[in-house]
Amino acid sequence: MSTATIANQPVVPEEIQSFTVTLIIRRFNPEVDDEPHWEDFDVQLYPTDRVLDALHKIKWEQDGSLTFRRSCAHGICGSDAMRINGRNRLACKTLMKDLDVTKPIYVEAIKGLPLEKDLIVDMEPFFDSFKAVQPFLVAKSTPVDGKERQQSVAQRARFDDTTKCILCAACTSSCPVFWTDGQYFGPAAIVNAHRFIFDSRDENAAVRLDILNDKEGVWRCRTTFNCTDACPRGIQVTQAIAEVKQAIMRGKA
């Protein structure tokens, strides 16, 4: 009898505990400040919340002047790359349960690009490098049957990894060479060149390899693997750069 009464009791979901997290954010207001400064905020959060949720709570409930980029908030648009506890991550893909919440969480803008406000940097130098490698399909010949350029599964798989790039700049702004050298193309540009260099439909691989064979091209890469560690899409960035190096050495894609 007693077991039956227990089984009939309504299932009460276990209450998920929220906790207070301290975020220390590097703030910079170009209209007031000369130098960036660190400011801390206490936020009530759940383990399933993301750093982006914490930033939203601060912006909506505590300090409306906090400025950051975000669009889709689901790890696709690549707007909210930032330096979280010293590592480049997407704020929308970093869960509280994966961070040590007993200590404050440090959030700052990505490094190596001009800081504009709070967590926003000027992305133009990054996109200039991206544009310089011709990140678009160049195919002057007419397809065989006049309809489409067909590709085998293996040919598509050759460059599959580098098609995943969302241009969030997490890799490029984690690269110590990019931090100091104003002209290095950076991992993201090389990844996007790789995507077309190894595409069987593309005919401009030689031109892209020539661009990346520059003094500030792939040879600047010191294989520190910071970019591979930073990539929110799990692209093997350092391997892609090494494949481009190999292609340049052999003189073809």
Q: For binding to other proteins (CB under 8 A), which residues are involved?
A: 28, 30-31, 34-36, 111-116, 122, 125, 176-177, 179-183, 210, 213-217, 219-220, 222, 245, 248-249
* Residue whose CB is less far from other proteins, 115 or 138: 115
**Radius of gyration from C-alpha coordinates of the chain:** 23
Of 122, 81, 86, 123, the closest CA to residue 104 belongs to 86
At its nearest, how many Å lie between other proteins and the CB of residue 60? 26
Q: Using CA atoms, how far apart are residues 181 and 244, in angstroms rounded to an integer?
A: 20
Residue type, 143: P
Q: How far is the CB of 221 from other proteins (least distance, A)?
A: 9
The rounded distance, in Å, linking the Cα atoms of 43 and 22 is: 6
In angstroms, what is the minimal distance from the CB of 13 to other proteins? Answer: 48
Query: What's the closest the beta carbon of residue 33 comes to other proteins, in angstroms?
Result: 9
Q: In what order do the strands lie in the sheet with 19-27?
A: 37-45, 19-27, 105-108, 81-84, 87-90
The residue (of 99 and 221) whose beta carbon lies closer to other proteins is 221
Q: Which is nearer to other proteins, 78 or 186 (CB)?
A: 186
| Residue 180 amino acid letter | T
Question: Could you tell me the smallest distance in angstroms from the CB atom of residue 42 to other proteins?
Answer: 27
Of the pair 165, 177, the CB lying nearest other proteins is at 177
Q: Which residues, other chains included, contact 10 with Cβ-Cβ below 8 Å and sequence gap of 6+?
A: none
